[in-house]
């Protein structure tokens, strides 16, 4: 029986992915920055562990608790919506610490066991912002584009050892806590200087008025497909809006 460790599994894509893999008979290690009871069902094949991707000690402890794993899904991330001119550099560093350096840290921690075993899959969840030109996402997009490049090169390094690396690029999902946090982190939090306000409001309205959106299940199913893909495909858009953007490139 195979085991997957998923970061950011307390809600949204991470939680849905944990449920999907569990339903397929896998052992699931669902990691959360702050573990909470009742987030996932009780099961002897589902274990919740504490893991903050910005805290090395918790990464080490989580892998010790998990034991051997077959797949890592780097899903943990934080949003950032706003105008770059109005975004403090402290916020920029915070976004990169989680979305970029956190992914790298978790990946580096699992590589020895994958390499020595000659198998394993790393799936890095990025975003459809990497597929198109989207306003108000300069910092967030930069953090995710970095992981796209990281994964592309990493896949080449790991191929001789039978280890695969993929990215999954979710579209916009309005039903996740992540989306709610993104909305809270939008124009109302001071990241949009006054001169930009009319334009930013139009951009947000255009975003919420789009016809296509992604569901959590779209992402979970795409992660599952990426894990089992042996064709060499690197990037996997997830959700109808992400697929539309990918096809338009």
Question: Which positions are catalytic?
Answer: 140
Six-digit token pair at 181? 């946090």
Half-sphere exposure of 8 (CA within 13 A, CB side): 23
Residue 194 phi, psi (nearest 5)? -50, -45
Six-digit token pair at 98? 């989680």
Closest CA to 121 of 82, 87, 169, 155: 155
Beta carbons of 24 and 43 less than 8 angstroms apart: no
Strand order from edge to edge, sheet including 27-32: 46-50, 27-32, 3-6, 71-74, 120-125, 163-170, 235-238
Distances (CA, A) of 136 to 33, 81, 158: 27, 5, 35
Residue 73 phi, psi (nearest 5)? -115, 105
CA–centroid distance for 217 within its chain: 14
Give the integer Cα–Cα distance in Å for 116 and 103: 21
Beta bridge partners of 122: 72, 165
């Amino acid at each position: 029986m195979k085991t997957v460790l998923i970061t950011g599994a307390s809600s949204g894509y991470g939680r849905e992915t944990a449920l999907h893999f569990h339903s397929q008979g896998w052992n699931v290690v669902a990691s959360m920055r702050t573990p909470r009871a009742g987030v996932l069902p009780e099961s002897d094949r589902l274990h919740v562990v504490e893991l903050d991707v910005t805290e090395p000690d918790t990464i080490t402890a989580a892998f010790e608790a998990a034991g051997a794993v077959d797949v890592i899904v780097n899903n943990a991330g934080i949003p950032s919506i706003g105008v770059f001119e109005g975004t403090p550099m402290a916020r920029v560093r915070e976004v990169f610490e989680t979305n970029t350096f956190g992914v790298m840290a978790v990946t580096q921690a699992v590589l020895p066991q994958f390499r020595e075993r000659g198998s394993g899959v790393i799936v890095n969840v990025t975003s459809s912002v990497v597929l198109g030109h989207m306003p108000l996402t300069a910092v967030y997009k930069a953090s995710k584009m970095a992981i796209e490049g990281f994964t592309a090169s990493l896949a080449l390094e790991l191929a001789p050892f039978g280890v695969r690396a993929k990215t999954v690029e979710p579209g916009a999902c309005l039903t996740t806590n992540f989306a709610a946090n993104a909305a809270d982190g939008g124009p109302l939090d001071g990241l949009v200087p006054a001169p930009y306000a009319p334009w930013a409001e139009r951009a947000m309205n255009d975003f919420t008025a789009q016809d296509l959106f992604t569901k959590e299940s779209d992402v979970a199913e795409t992660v599952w497909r990426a894990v089992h893909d042996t064709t060499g495909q690197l990037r996997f858009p997830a959700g109808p809006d992400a697929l539309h953007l990918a096809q338009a490139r």
